[in-house]
Amino acid sequence: MDYRKQMQDDLQFVQGQMRPEAFDTMHQRHSANYKPTIWKYDFLQSLTNEYDEEIYKGRAEKLKENVMCMFDEAEGQFTKLQLIDKIKKFGLANLFKEEIEEALNSIASNNNKKACNVEEDLHATALCFRLLRQHGHKVSQDMFKGYLNEMGTFSKSICTNIKGMLELFEASHLALEGENILDEAKAFSAENLKEISSDLDSNIAKQVAHALELPLHWRVKWFDVKWHINVYEKEEHKNSILLELAKLNFNMVQATHQEELKEISRWWRNLGLIENLSFTRDRLVESFLWTVGLTFEPRSRCFRKWLTKVINLILIIDDVYDIYGSFEELESFTKAVDRWDSNEAQQLPDCMKICFQALYDITNEIAHAIQKEQGWGRVLPLLKKVWADFCKALFVEAKWYNKGYTPSLQEYLGNAWITSSGPVLCLHAFLAVTHEVTQEMVDLVEANRDLIYCSSLITRLCNDLGTSTAELERGDAPSSILCHMREANVSEEIARKHIREVIVKTWTKMNDDCFTQSPLLQPVVNIIANVARVAQCIYQFGDGFGVQDRETKEHVLSLLIEPLI
């Protein structure tokens, strides 16, 4: 699919080839009634955390050595797989990268000789499949053929293996396109887990409910660490050393994030931008939370600082197009960004001039910082282009809204994957995490544009599911849900079901790109996939950016404020 060609026709009007038939110059500004931030500056600056002290770092190193020994002491491949699984779920994988790779390489080698060479048990087989595929090893869905009956469907005899069924469900979400056995596994395990969930003891029932709500592969790993630790604490045969390290590591990482949040909040306050833009969302803490979901490791400090600034700009510009600007003003703003020229913005209202200048200054600042660190001189042209594409796509939506036009779902999605801001985030992420940016690396990313498309599409569709009700009430531009409702003449409930099905199919397509990438691109691929995962989390129960005081507030408290005790 040539997405550039698809956009070309839609964007011709930016150069003035298409104009609305009529326009009311007395534009009525409207409001989304966004509430002020609940995270006050003084509160953020007051955050303290003792876990950055040397005594805790020394204890963590000692515990880390003990866990390293567990890899050698693990008896059998299944035991080693369970250890790796716990380490990953506890957010410790970056501490044991070499040990995990060595263990999985060995297991993969055995897998090539005989199907995973672990105990002939559904739990072991599914866990082996999931971990190997996650780490880029080529494993076949045929590993599950032994659990099929003569009809080619999964045998009912495995339904009593609850942990096996749960792991089969998780493994099935790593399916590639055309893997029918895994498609069958997903439907079979989901149906049976729902049937038996009410009869399980509390701890395993909690795990089943958690998986059915959102599978592990779609979740932000760091956002889930506390949950996995709390579940593990209730297990009868828990490992106290692993548990202590998990808690200590979480608190130490949280201490790093708190210092970063204090620093970025000082920048935000000194910038003074929000005082002049009363119509937009003041969501600094939520923006920072998003960056933590993309990469939580302490070494990614600069990444989070830059991306927090970028996400704040995305929110402001999105609100300029959705809420504040008239059609003519938005046309001028789009041209100013496309030409990267402050003079083009001079005739705009002060709010929009301030917004453009912030975009101009912050982007130049980020480009300079990346160029200084990477030694590659073509950063700014790439950033300018991705921001221009974002604004042009937003202007397409403004044109639709101004004409009262509802596009088909396909037409909407051809533009909406860009308005999701996914390409903006992915490009900044690539430039920020790549150790040595070269034209060859840029070309490699460009060649894998489908991955960015899929992640961006999931982000947009999750956003639509979470925000469409409020947007319909205030009369915003059509979302994917409304487009499908009108095109297919169906109810909102049916349209929502269809959009969720599109998300599932897009994840499967993205799996193809995630698990078959060059090792050079793997750090970037992980972050691109995490863009979709954070969107799943933020919009799971509604508008996680617009509305602060519900689930998003709990995420902020849990991940950034309250340590594990």
- In three-state secondary structure terms, 148 is strand
- Predicted confidence at residue 12, as pLDDT, reads 39
- In three-state secondary structure terms, 394 is helix
Are the CB atoms for 289 and 555 separated by under 8 Å? yes
Kindly state whether residue 28 falls inside one of the protein's structural domains: no
Q: pLDDT tier at 216 (50, 70, 90 boundaries)?
A: very high
Q: pLDDT tier at 119 (50, 70, 90 boundaries)?
A: very low
Q: Please check the confidence at residue 292 and state whether its pLDDT lies above 90.
A: yes
Q: pLDDT tier at 10 (50, 70, 90 boundaries)?
A: very low
Q: Can you tell me the distance from the alpha carbon of 367 to that of 377, in angstroms, rounded to the nearest whole number?
A: 9
CATH number at residue 233: 1.50.10.130
CATH number at residue 410: 1.10.600.10
Residues 278 and 218 grouped into a single domain: no
Kindly state whether residue 255 falls inside one of the protein's structural domains: no
Q: Which of 246, 263, 291 is the last residue of a domain?
A: 246
CA atoms within 13 A on the CB side of 198: 3
Residues 110 and 178 grouped into a single domain: yes
- Predicted confidence at residue 15, as pLDDT, reads 35
Neighbours of 169 (CB within 10 A): 23
Most confident of 296-305, 425-434, 512-521: 296-305
Torsions phi, psi for 148 (to 5 deg): -95, 150
Residues 195 and 298 grouped into a single domain: no
Residues 231 and 285 grouped into a single domain: no
Kindly state whether residue 213 falls inside one of the protein's structural domains: yes
Residues 164 and 298 grouped into a single domain: no
Q: pLDDT tier at 120 (50, 70, 90 boundaries)?
A: low
Residues 183 and 276 grouped into a single domain: no
Of 387 and 449, more confident? 387
Kindly state whether residue 45 falls inside one of the protein's structural domains: no
DSSP assignment of 434-501, as one string? -SS--HHHHHHHHHTHHHHHHHHHHHHHHHHHHHHHHHHHHT-S--HHHHHHHHHT--HHHHHHHHHH
Residues 406 and 496 grouped into a single domain: yes
- Collect all residues with Cβ–Cβ distance below 8 Å to 427 and sequence separation of at least 6: 382, 383, 386
Q: Please check the confidence at residue 125 and state whether its pLDDT lies above 80.
A: yes
What mean pLDDT is reported for the chain?
88
- Predicted confidence at residue 440, as pLDDT, reads 77
- Predicted confidence at residue 479, as pLDDT, reads 93
Task: Report CA dihedral (557, 432, 429, 564) to the nearest 10 degrees.
Answer: -20
Kindly state whether residue 398 falls inside one of the protein's structural domains: yes
Residues 103 and 196 grouped into a single domain: yes
Residues 150 and 218 grouped into a single domain: yes
The alpha-helical segments, DSSP class H, found in 320-448 are: 327-339, 350-374, 379-403, 409-419, 422-433, 439-447
Q: How many folded domains does the chain comprise?
A: 2
Kindly state whether residue 22 falls inside one of the protein's structural domains: no
Residues 389 and 509 grouped into a single domain: yes
Domain extent, residue 213, equals 59-246
Residues 220 and 317 grouped into a single domain: no
Bridge partners for 400 per DSSP: none
Of 384 and 202, more confident? 384
Kindly state whether residue 426 falls inside one of the protein's structural domains: yes
Of 429, 520, 539, 437, which Cα lies nearest the Cα of 480? 539
Task: Give the position of tokens 């840029």.
Answer: 442
Task: Report CA dihedral (373, 375, 381, 384) to the nearest 10 degrees.
Answer: 0
Residues 329 and 225 grouped into a single domain: no
pLDDT tens profile 41-99: 999 999 998 888 889 999 999 999 999 999 999 888 999 999 999 999 999 999 999 99
Strands (E), 34-171: none
Burial 528-540 (b: 16+ CB within 10 A, else e): bbbbbbbbbbbbb
Q: Can you tell me the distance from the alpha carbon of 369 to that of 379, in angstroms, rounded to the nearest whole number?
A: 10
Q: pLDDT tier at 26 (50, 70, 90 boundaries)?
A: very low
Kindly state whether residue 510 falls inside one of the protein's structural domains: yes
